[in-house]
């Protein structure tokens, strides 16, 4: 099976503007409750952290390659382990698409700087799809 790679960059200002314009509707449509809580700080929601999650969701869709079916954004969840590791958890249509495609693992790396998400750090995500619900781990 061929390895699929997905990558994406997201302007932090785009996410910031979406929050300002659409508030809760945007957050509920794109992110899970856990993602929003993970991105909440003493000054409110951090658009930089949300932008990093959005880029990971876009990259995941590029790996899954949905055709005519819609994949809800919040069926791809970026989870942060207390130790700092990042994992992706797929549910619903995203999980079904991964299972149907026989995707059992993939490797993605993203680096971003400046006005783009994630403060210039490099991340590697290892996608591992297990029984029941696919898990993607760092």
Q: Parse the chain into domains and list their residue ranges.
A: 12-137
pLDDT tens digits, 70-114: 899 999 998 877 777 777 888 889 888 888 777 655 444 444 445
Listing DSSP states for 19-85 in one string gives HHHHHHHHHHHHS-HHHHHHTEETTEE-HHHHHHHHHHHHHHHHHH---SS---GGGEEEEE-TTS-
pLDDT tens digits, 18-59: 999 999 999 999 999 999 999 999 999 999 999 989 988 998
At residue 120, the pLDDT reads 43
Homologous superfamily of the 12-137 domain (CATH): 4'-phosphopantetheinyl transferase domain (3.90.470.20)
């Amino acid at each position: 099976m061929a390895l699929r790679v997905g990558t994406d960059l997201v302007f932090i200002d785009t996410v910031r503007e979406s929050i300002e314009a659409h508030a809760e509707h945007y957050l509920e449509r794109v992110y899970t409750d856990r993602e929003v809580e993970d991105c909440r700080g003493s000054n409110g929601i951090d658009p930089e952290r949300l932008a990093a999650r959005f880029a990971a969701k876009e990259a995941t869709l590029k790996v899954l390659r949905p055709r005519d079916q819609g994949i809800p954004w919040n069926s791809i969840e970026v989870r942060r382990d207390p130790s700092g590791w990042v994992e992706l958890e797929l549910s619903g249509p995203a999980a079904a698409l991964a299972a149907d495609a026989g995707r059992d693992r993939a490797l993605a790396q993203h680096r971003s700087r400046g006005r783009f998400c994630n403060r210039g750090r490099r991340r590697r995500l290892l996608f591992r799809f297990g029984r029941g619900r696919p898990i993607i781990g760092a």
